[in-house]
Structure 1
Amino acid sequence: MVASSTLRHLCGGITTQSPLFLSLALFLTSIIAAITIHISRRRQKQPLLSRPTTPTEVEKSPPRKYAHWQPSSFKPPPPAPYPNWSLTETKPLPYRPFRYGPKYNVTMGLRRIQHEDWIELDSDYPKYHSKKAERIASRGSKCCKTAPEAYPAALELLEELAEYLPRRYSTLYQKTDRGLKNLWSGEDFDIIGDEKGKLVEDPMQMAARLVQDDLAIMIERDDGQYYLLAGATLLAGFWRLEDKFGMSLSRIHTSGDVPQYKEKLEKGMTNFFRRVQPQEIVARNNYFFQVDDGLAWSESIGSEDSKEVSWSTAEKNRAIEHHFFRSERQTLRRLPRSGGVVFTIRTYFHPITEIVKEDYVPGRLASAIRSWGDDVSRYKGKEKYGEILLEYLDGKHQEQIERGLDLVREDEVRAYPY
């Protein structure tokens, strides 16, 4: 068992000085660039999951040629219903994936999760559902796209969701002969399509309307590289699918200044993609900051339709009321039939003024920010908000100490390990 102090891990998903780059690198890099941590089960006080995993511990795939995936007979176990799930009462989980300094590490940082924990839905669902519908209507294929060679994988993802969601969230979804029905919105989702299996809308777009997550599928080609060939990124905040669609995993990273990518991340990430099997689901969490309230798109870096967008356009040291804490919970799994690798990216979005009300958060977050090296600071855009944010966090930390907060007991009394 990992000692309690090691729960204080910084999972460093990072924004960039040039958010144009931040497309897939935002969640691909953050899948890899983090400290390994334990996760407790959900609010119902279940036991901890199995220990964290590294890519070398994931079941190795049998030898095969690149782009030649032998369909697997594996079927995920039926998920148990989420205990007492309610569209109004089940609140977002309080992910706070940052740790105390003085050192910020960039290492592999994946943890195994159970198949039943694949997708998280909560009381923010109506807001996310509405925002996604608005984005689909206004931007469509700019946010949701599936290449022909990824179409089978996208259909398979829909099938997986149609099996999973009615079991896990039975008060929201109901299985039907042709797919599933949203009991809250009244929407019917036909995942079978016409006689050729063609759906009435892009399968990634349909999948995105089922969950609060953004979605992406990477497909292996003959060169052994994985390419972003299907995506639905409706609430990405800083990045645009059209900028990175069709790029390889390596190119996505090398097209921007990912801190220590070549030195510490590239080899392990490549090996992991090659080895991951359908039996395994891994997850990790990240965090970063935004100086406006745009869940779907951060206008502070420029218009979403600008040729180039960058932190350089953001106003420096805006009032603290404009500072937002943006965290992602990301999962990765391989689809059994097609062999595509699926990412889910669930964004949690809160005003800084809200999360600092939680015990220990202001001090730990300030310490984490101060632990960033120059490369990470540039990548996260710290220059635009660091001064005013740290001053505010320090003040709130001092207020907690003055009212008697016992810093020594943090690991003991903290309700959630992130």
Structure 2
Amino acid sequence: MQAFDLVSKNISQIIPIPIYVGVFVVLLFQVFPRIFIARQRSIGQSTANRPGKDSDTPNGIYDRKPSLSSLVTPDPTFSWRDNPQQIPREIKPGKYFLTMNVRKLDFNDYIIFDKRYLSEYRERQAIISNVGSARIFVAEANDAALDLCEETLMVTVDFLVTRYPSMFHRTERGVLCVDAGEEYDLVTRPWVRHPLETMCLLSGDDCILMRCCNDGVLRVAAVGLVYSLDIDWTSFVGKDLASIHRDARIPFYESAIQKSVDRYFLKLQPDKPVARANWLTQIGPELRNEKFPDEYFRHVSTIPGNTITPETVVDDLYFRVERQAMRKLPSMRGVVFKFHLYATNIWDLELEEGVPRRFAEHIRGLPESVLRQKHCLEYVDCILKVMDLMAERQEKNTTNFHN
């Protein structure tokens, strides 16, 4: 002990205090962090290679941070019967610029329900029964696509039973939709029904699943489009975003935002969903609708003795709005693009304060190519006439109220 004290005393005389401080700083900021990072990488590699035999969840989902269930706030008293429709009206007046126009979405609002929930649930059931699920739910014929479909359903069920415990209950074999009185089997393999069919019925949303391919490109792996047009969606599968928008002839997409959209989708995170809105016009209120105004008008105008004009059809004109939400799946292998559809008669917009005026100014700023893509080019004068009339009445009522 005396020898140790003697050595320590001699060292303290030889090595100045600043050197002690310098050595401590190096250890604190250089050596220790590297040791810690190396250990974390070792743990991460071990977790990533964990076999998935005891779980229906794809490998890699164990690494998701934070836990998605912890982001959901339960609403045990929620009643869809008392909840009015929350139709997005993200309308920008003025000169048209094509942008992604995405915004952050509160995780609790990833799936929302309103007073039309049960009626639309029954309607979607009838459509699937009449059209046939094989024409509505289409996927790549490989395990990767099925994994994405299964994961999407499981993530959806996790959200629903946590957020809306009065509407959805877990059971021994799956999940119970309380208001519909139906239980969905999530255990039996092969699946009793397509996973996306269950997802689309429970959530009330349509969806497109995109797979992150090895070449760094997102491609459509599966679709579940109950309320979309009665066409063959097989052509969508396997295509990237650029090809889809090119086939749909979206004006300015390639030149304005294609690269930004590709980068943005790849950077999405499971715990940070985003949202946007889109609108088109249609004839009639049916959400599974094949009557777009321009095409419909051109068709009926060829019928002998036809008396239909844009002025006579405008009363049956509806604005079809998509509430779109996007997020990365927890396994990071794919992206969910889902959307909820609304149809509003043109005259009912007068019930929404300020919307007719903003819509009119927005439409006046749209180029001809965009008006054609939204199926209202041949009706645009009639639409503006109605919008201006409703806006004037709203403004007059506001003035009278203040006087």
Q: Shorter chain as normaliser: what TM range?
A: 0.7 to 0.9
In the alignment, the residues of structure 1 paired with residue 324 and residue 224 of structure 2 have an alpha-carbon distance, to the nearest angstrom, of 14
Alignment of 1:289-308 (within 5 A): 289-300=281-292
Q: Which residue of 2 aligns with 1:55?
A: none
Q: How does 1:77-96 map to 2 (within 5 A)?
A: 77-78=69-70, 79-82=72-75, 84-96=77-89
Comparing both structures, which one devotes a greater share of its residues to helix? 2
CA separation of 1:348 and 1:114: change in aligned 2, threshold 3 A: same
- Given candidates 84, 93, 103, the residue that maps to 1:100 is 93
Task: Please say if 1:382 is aligned against 2:376.
Answer: yes
- The 8 Å contact of residues 156 and 338 in structure 1, kept in 2 or not, is answered as no
Gaps of 5+ in 2: 1-58, 302-308
Change (3 A) 1:349 1:337: same
Structure 1 consecutive aligned stretches of length 4 or more whose deviation exceeds 3 Å: 69-72, 237-240, 299-302, 309-316, 404-408
Offset at residue 124 of structure 1 (A): 0.7
Q: 1:399 aligns with which of 372, 387, 393?
A: 393
Query: Does the CA-based 8 Å contact 2:208-2:222 persist in structure 1?
Result: yes
In the alignment, does 2:123 pair up with 1:128? Answer: no
Deviates more, 1:117-126 or 1:293-302: 293-302
Superposed CA deviations along residues 172-198 of structure 1, whole A, max 9, x for unmatched, are 11122322101111111111223xxx2
Q: Is 1:357 the counterpart of 2:351 in the alignment?
A: yes
Partner amino acid, structure 1, of 2:160: L
2:198 is aligned with 1:206: yes
| Distance in 2, Cα, partners of 1:328 & 1:83 | 27
Instruction: Show CA shifts across 1:76-109 (max 9, x none).
Output: 13411347421311111142221322x1221232
**What are the within-5 Å matches in structure 2 for residues 19-418 of structure 1?**
71=61, 72-74=63-65, 75-78=67-70, 79-82=72-75, 84-101=77-94, 103-139=95-131, 140-147=133-140, 148=142, 149-194=144-189, 198-237=190-229, 241-300=233-292, 313=299, 317=310, 318-337=312-331, 339-405=333-399
Deviation at 1:301, TM superposition (A): 7.1
The answer to whether the 8 A contact 2:87-2:321 is kept is no
Write the distance in 1 (CA, Å) between the matches of 2:187 and 2:332: 17
Q: Return the letter of the residue paired with 1:277.
A: Q
State how far apart, in whole Å, the 2-side matches of 1:91 and 1:275 are.
33
Alpha carbons of structure 1 residues 90 and 234: separation in structure 2 relative to 1, 3 Å: same
| Per-residue deviation, residues 318-365 of structure 1 (Å, max 9, x unmatched) | 433211111111111111125110011011211111122222121111
State the 1:290 CA deviation. Answer: 1.2
Distance 1:190 1:120 in 2: 23
Counterpart residue type for residue 252 of structure 1? I
Comparing 204-213 with 92-101, greater Cα deviation is found at 92-101
Structure with more relative contact order (C-alpha pairs < 8 Å, separation 6 or more): 1
Structure 2-normalised TM-score? Answer: 0.75
Q: Give 1:283 shift.
A: 0.8
Q: 1:182 & 1:205 partners in 2: Cα distance?
A: 14
User: How many Å separate the matches in 2 of 1:310 and 1:276?
Assistant: 39
Question: Which string of whole-angstrom CA distances, capped at 9 and with x for unpartnered residues, describes residues 17-64 of structure 1?
Answer: xxxxxxxxxxxxxxxxxxxxxxxxxxxxxxxxxxxxxxxxxxxxxxxx
- How many Å separate the matches in 1 of 2:151 and 2:328? 11
Measured in 2, the distance between the counterparts of 1:237 and 1:407 equals 44
Residue 403 of structure 1, CA deviation: 2.4
TM (normalized to structure 1)?
0.73
Counterpart for residue 21 of structure 1: none
Letter in 1 for 2:64: S
- 1:341-390 deviation digits (Å, cap 9, x = unpaired): 00110112111111222221211111111110122122212223212111
Distance 1:82 1:219 in 2: 32
Q: Structure 1: give runs of 5+ residues left out of the alignment.
A: 1-68, 303-308, 409-418
In structure 1, the residue matched to 2:4 is none
Supply the distance in 1 between the matched residues of 2:104 and 2:291 (Cα, whole angstroms): 35
Deviation at 1:203, TM superposition (A): 0.8
CA contact (8 A) 1:110 1:283 kept: yes
Report how far residue 247 of structure 1 moved.
1.9
The size of the alignment, in residue pairs, is 330
Q: Which has the larger radius of gyration?
A: 2
Give the deviation of 1:407 after TM superposition: 12
CA contact (8 A) 2:319 2:343 kept: yes
Indicate how the Cα distance of structure 1 residues 324 and 407 shifts in structure 2: closer, same or farther if over 3 A, else same.
farther
Give the percent of matched residue pairs that are identical in Structure 1 and Structure 2. 24
Kindly provide the amino acid, as one letter, of the partner of residue 291 in structure 2: E
How big is the shift at 1:255?
A: 1.8
